[in-house]
Amino acid sequence: MKAIILAGGKGTRGKPYTEYFPKAMISINGKPMIDYVIKYLKSFNFIKEIIIISDYNGLGGQIKNYYGEQKNIKFVQDSQNGTGGDLLHIEKELKDESEFLLWFVDNLCAIDIKKMRETFKEKNSFACIATRTKRKEETGFAIVENGIIKEFKEKPVIKLQLSECLGVYMLGKEIIQKIKMKKTKQINLSFDILQQLSKEGKVSAYDIGEREWIDAESPIILERNEKLVTKIIKQMGL
């Protein structure tokens, strides 16, 4: 199996920092964030190659310079045509794959990819998305009765009414064909492809359960959630 890391986003939410380096290169304990993702993916013996998609003519060049030539890591220029366009761009790299993993670089989570793969196959799905139904809030809550606060709940873990989708996908080869059928240049994987497939019962969910997750959009987010990041990295075995 091949794993694709999408590291070509503009990093809008991470500005002004991402005006000087890509999100993938945000430092965690002196190492770029993408390094933790790569090392974690390599810990699964069925992942044979990692493809990193980024804008190597721009800030993404820092990623390529950091790694240089390494076995089983390939660098592909961002298509600039959305997530679906990026996958179509590497169609030749995936021609022998029955399924592949797609990981957005700013997602930090020790997802059990082996179990996620099993869910993908058991559900006979075209795609499987990592999800969660529990979330620890960053603010304080209160129990209110008749306008009176009865109890405070500081940063509680709450049960979500809807499953939250994370940026980690297991995708089947059928996805590429679905993308090719689209006539538009810009293709968003979630809205243009998976939305319709979900209505057909072809998209499964893998709930991460008690595993922590963070959307590492900027150095500020990582600094504010230092304990959480440390816990996730330990769960990753790094």
State the chain's mean pLDDT as an integer. Answer: 92
For 151-181, the pLDDT digits (tens) are: 999 888 889 999 999 999 999 999 999 999 9
**Residue 217 confidence class, pLDDT cut points 50, 70, 90:** confident
**Pick from 34, 37, 89: nearest CA to 66:** 34
pLDDT at residue number 209: 92
pLDDT mean over 16-27: 84
DSSP sequence for 108-151 = EE---HHHHHHHHHHTT-SEEEEEEEEEE-SSEEEEEETTEEEE
For 65-95, the pLDDT digits (tens) are: 999 888 899 999 999 899 999 999 999 999 9
Higher pLDDT, 157 or 138: 157
Q: Selecting from 3.90.550.10, 3.40.50.620, 1.20.1250.20, 3.90.1150.10, what CATH number does the domain 2-132+163-235 have?
A: 3.90.550.10
**Pick from 160, 2, 27, 170: nearest CA to 93:** 2
Give residue for tokens 């790694």: 67
CB 17 within 8 A of CB 25: no
Whole-number Å distance between alpha carbons of 91 and 53: 13
Residue 130 carries which side chain, given as an amino acid letter?
Answer: A
Q: Is 212 helix (H, G, I), strand (E, B) or coil?
A: coil
